[in-house]
Amino acid sequence: MAGGGISKVFAQMSPARGMLDAMDCLFCKIVAGTIPAKKLFEDEHAIAILDINPQAPVHVLAIPKKHVASLAKTDANDERMLGHLLNVVRELAVEQKLGNGYRVVINTGANGGQTVDHLHLHVLGGRAMHWPPG
Read off the pLDDT of residues 26-70 as tens digits, 9 standing for 90 and up.
Answer: 999 999 999 999 999 999 999 999 999 999 999 999 999 999 999
State percent of the chain over pLDDT 90.
Answer: 80
Q: Among the options 45, 67, 84, 120, which is catalytic?
A: 120
Question: In the annotation, is 84 catalytic?
Answer: no
Q: Is residue 38 part of a domain?
A: yes
Q: Is residue 34 part of a domain?
A: yes
Q: Is residue 25 part of a domain?
A: yes
CATH number of the domain to which 77 belongs: 3.30.428.10
Q: How many domains does the chain have?
A: 1
Q: Is residue 63 part of a domain?
A: yes
Query: CA-to-CA distance for 59 and 49, rounded, in angstroms?
Result: 9
Confidence class for position 23, pLDDT limits 50, 70, 90: confident
Query: CA-to-CA distance for 30 and 26, rounded, in angstroms?
Result: 6
Domain of residue 66: give its range: 5-125
Q: Is residue 111 part of a domain?
A: yes
Q: Is residue 131 part of a domain?
A: no
Q: Is residue 133 part of a domain?
A: no
Q: Is residue 134 part of a domain?
A: no
Read off the pLDDT of residues 105-122 as tens digits, 9 standing for 90 and up.
Answer: 999 999 999 999 999 999
